[in-house]
Amino acid sequence: MANIAIVGAGQAGLFLGFGLLEDGHEVTLFSDQTSEGILNGRLPSGMGLFEDAVKKEAALGLPNWEDGMTRGEGAILELINPDGGVGLHIAPPVPRPHRGVDQRLKNSRWMRELERRGAAVRVVPLATPEDLDKHTAGHDLVVVATGKGSLSSLFARDPQRSPFDRPQRHIIGLLLKNFRPDLRSGTIRILPRMGEVIITPFYSREQLKGRFLLIEGIPGGPLDQFPRELSGHELLKACQQTIRALIPWQLEDLKEAELNSEQCWLRGSLTPTVRQPVGRLASGKVVLGLGDAVMLHDPLAAQGGNNATHMADFYRGRIREHAGRPFTAEWMQRTFEDFWRDHGQYAMGVTAGLLMPPAPHQQAVLVSAHHVPAMATALIDGLYDPRALFPWFVDPAVTPGFLESRGVPPALMDQLAPLLKRSARA
């Protein structure tokens, strides 16, 4: 069995650690924070997991909060008209589960549990590649599952696979109480040329059945007009006013919402990016990138945590198959490429697709999903498993046949024909 170092105590690194321990490897987790520091810190994300990732956690017997949380069920997509009304409503008839747990609560408890199961946990400075080189000497394999600080410089940007060179949204996330207590679905409201307003059940650090409000504003638009100096409570009030103006008659109960605490909000932007998976330290040692270190997603499509979980599980399988042999740069590159072909390219494709205005044939898909339950299911299933959207959602030559196979009636196909033909000509 191998002696493996994992750098980063987030979803990807911790999940990989549990899997490697179960396979009999010697695992050392490196973090720049203690479990208490993680628990008591600022909200890092509003990450949610879909059912396949949740099942993988359950298979490892990982601690969860099923008895206390609101279990998310299903996703709803709505396209908002200019007057604030709902133009398209897309909801599958059979909802699929998802779970949102505060990463501070989850990661701090998982970190302690990983140590209890036999991993070594070391809290050390990890700001630079030099720190990494110093602390991970002597390990058979080093997996870097964090892109914090200058560690991201270890992994060069892959321009062929990185769809954008700048942020496509400015992001505000608010963890709220007294808001939609009975909500089980995740709801994405698309405001064309403005951005998106997303609400999902979320179990908080304070062990409250909260709701996560994510505002994804297109830079310079109406959802991106909030002064930078606002506190969390002030930002919530500004968001309440803006949402009330843009989508009147909806989310009226948002006016009663409160932040769980002044630490329960986040704000920023990121550029969806794919990086080369192999980094080289000054000592000559090669390291393997995992999760956000090499595949960074905008949260709009909810692929980040799910992709990280599937990627860690994939790496675990390849490490198990490779037992007893050196972990070379060639093995690392091949492992990443195989994951990219199997899952990663589709997760990144869905993320990029949602950030861009829909092409004409994709507009036809949205309209059909509003009218035909089987199409609503097919579309939303693409969030749960992005591979399910390919090729029919991205290739206009395939789209008409797929619509017909899902029972879109001839009369509706006739109405959609101009959109389908426009994409085909392009």
Token digits of residue 343: 């899952």
Distances (CA, A) of 83 to 31, 140, 245, 250, 371: 49, 60, 10, 12, 21
- pLDDT, tens digit, 9 for 90 and up, residues 101-131: 999 999 999 999 999 999 999 999 888 899 9
Q: How confident is the model at residue 249 (pLDDT cuts 50, 70, 90)?
A: confident
- Rounded to whole angstroms, how far apart are CA atoms 190 and 354? 10
The stretch 179-193 carries a mean pLDDT of 93
The pairing of beta strand 120-123 with beta strand 75-80: unpaired
| Residue 426, pLDDT score | 63
Percent of the chain with pLDDT over 70: 100
- Rounded to whole angstroms, how far apart are CA atoms 404 and 414? 11
Q: Which amino acid is at 175?
A: L
Q: Which amino acid is at 52?
A: D
Q: How confident is the model at residue 423 (pLDDT cuts 50, 70, 90)?
A: confident
| Residue 147, pLDDT score | 80
- Rounded to whole angstroms, how far apart are CA atoms 317 and 87? 45
- Look at 306 and 209; give whichever has higher pLDDT: 306
Q: Where does 72-98+168-269 sit in CATH, by number?
A: 3.30.9.40
The stretch 345-367 carries a mean pLDDT of 96
Q: What is the mean pLDDT of the chain?
A: 95
Q: Which amino acid is at 44?
A: P
Q: Which CATH class is domain 3-65+102-163+271-352?
A: alpha beta
The stretch 317-331 carries a mean pLDDT of 95
Q: Is the pLDDT assigned to residue 269 strictly greater than 90?
A: yes
The stretch 220-241 carries a mean pLDDT of 96
3-state secondary structure the chain: CCEEEEECCCHHHHHHHHHHHHCCCEEEEEECCCHHHHHCCCCCCCCEEEHHHHHHHHHCCCCCCCCCCCCEECEEEEEECCCCCEEEEECCCCCCEEEEECHHHHHHHHHHHHHHCCCEEEECCCCCHHHHHHHCCCCCEEEECCCCHHHHHHCCECCCCCCCCCCCCEEEEEEEECCCCCCCCEEEEEECCCEEEEEEEEECCCCCEEEEEEEEECCCCCCCCCCCCCCHHHHHHHHHHHHHHHCCCCCHHHHHCEECCCCCEEEEECCCEEECCEEECCCCCEEEECHHHCEECCHHHCCHHHHHHHHHHHHHHHHHHCCCCCCCHHHHHHHHHHHHHHHHHHHHHHHHHHHCCCCHHHHHHHHHHHHCHHHHHHHHHHHHCHHHHCCCCCCCCCHHHHHHHCCCCHHHHHHHHHHHHHHHHC
Q: How confident is the model at residue 67 (pLDDT cuts 50, 70, 90)?
A: confident
The stretch 374-393 carries a mean pLDDT of 96
